[in-house]
Amino acid sequence: KAGVTQTPRYLIKTRGQQVTLSCSPISGHRSVSWYQQTPGQGLQFLFEYFSETQRNKGNFPGRFSGRQFSNSRSEMNVSTLELGDSALYLCASSFNGAYNEQFFGPGTRLTVL
């Protein structure tokens, strides 16, 4: 069974631009969660999507958004990028959400200049 894939793996953007990251979960998994990892804040929950609906959201500004498609693939978008958005963005796949075992993708490393 293929693991969780994330694209792209690396991104360099400038302040003010927007970016879209993609995550394909494990086949059969319906939940995709997104996390931001920075040296100062650790791993922070962004949001979770389940069956194309956002089920929960962390404490991030509205510039961070996401969606999920009918095949469970998910995208997250960050608009009006700020220097502080530089981070490793990780997505996690699970069958049914936080109560189930989570499997992580390799991450997308975003650098904002």
Partner 1 sequence: GIQVEQSPPDLILQEGANSTLRCNFSDSVNNLQWFHQNPWGQLINLFYIPSGTKQNGRLSATTVATERYSLLYISSSQTTDSGVYFCAIGGYQKVTFGIGTKLQVIP
Residues that bind partner 1 (CB under 8 A): 33, 35, 37, 42-43, 45, 48, 55-56, 58, 88, 90, 92, 97-104, 106-107, 109
Cβ proximity to partner 1, 16 vs 91, nearer residue: 91
Quote the tokens at residue 32: 């995709």
Closest approach of partner 1 to the CB of residue 106, in Å: 5
The smaller minimum CB distance to partner 1, of residues 65 and 106, is found at 106
- Residue nearer to partner 1 on the CB measure, 22 or 102: 102
Report, in Å, the least distance between residue 1 CB and partner 1: 14
Which of 54, 80 has the CB closer to partner 1? 54
Contacts of 80 (CB under 8 A, 6+ apart): 16, 18, 63
Minimum CB separation from partner 1 for residue 84, in Å? 18
Angle at 31 between CA 104 and CA 3, to 5 degrees: 35
Shortest distance in whole angstroms from residue 16 CB to partner 1: 26
